[in-house]
């Protein structure tokens, strides 16, 4: 799986600084958006987000042009039964990482658009209305 990461703030800083390459404040790695299973109209998304800044980073919204809705979810155990529930925001502490993975926090990509190809999938992660990072993932 090849993941290409576009960091708008890092690109602007890179252009302003010439050859100095500053560390991006938010980095996504291990991006995995497997194909839908059994004809279901949704997919799950997994990735690791690392905060290289000195302040907490809050992700309050995720969008994708290939899906009508993308939600942050987590799997919780209720009386021995695993259930998914939506979470309002994901906070990544300074210098920390958060893994969105099977059986824990993850993305649910729902209602694929009619003209969307299965891959690549692009995700836009926001803090309210501010775009923090765009990630494109595809099968190689």
Q: Is 101 exposed, middle or buried (0-12, 13-18, 19+ CB in 10 A)?
A: middle
The model's pTM is 0.79
Q: What is the CATH number of domain 2-138?
A: 2.60.40.1890
- For the chain, give every domain's residue range: 2-138
Higher-pLDDT residue of 116 and 8 is: 116
Look over the chain and give the mean of its residue pLDDT values, rounded to a whole number: 83
Where is average pLDDT lowest: 26-30, 36-40, 79-83, 106-110?
A: 36-40
Q: Which tens digits make up the pLDDT trace of 63-99?
A: 999 999 999 999 998 888 989 999 999 999 999 999 9
Q: How many CB atoms lie within 10 A of CB 22?
A: 12
Give 79's contacts (C-beta < 8 A, 6+ positions apart).
Answer: none
In this model, does residue 126 exceed pLDDT 70? Answer: yes
pLDDT at 20: 54
Q: Give the 3-state secondary structure of residue 41.
A: coil
Higher pLDDT, 8 or 25: 25
């Amino acid at each position: 799986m090849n993941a290409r990461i576009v960091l708008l703030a890092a690109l602007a800083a890179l252009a302003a600084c010439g050859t100095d390459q500053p560390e991006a404040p938010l980095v996504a790695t291990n991006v995995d958006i497997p194909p839908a299973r059994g004809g279901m109209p949704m997919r799950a998304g997994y990735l690791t987000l690392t905060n290289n800044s000195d302040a907490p980073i809050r992700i309050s919204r995720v969008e994708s042009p290939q899906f009508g809705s993308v939600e942050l979810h987590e799997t919780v155990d209720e009386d021995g039964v695993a259930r998914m529930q939506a979470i309002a925001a994901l906070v990544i502490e300074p210098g920390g990482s958060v893994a969105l993975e099977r059986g824990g926090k993850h993305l649910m990509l729902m209602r694929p658009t009619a003209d969307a190809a299965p891959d690549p999938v692009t995700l836009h992660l926001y803090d309210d209305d501010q775009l923090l990072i765009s990630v494109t993932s595809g099968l190689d």
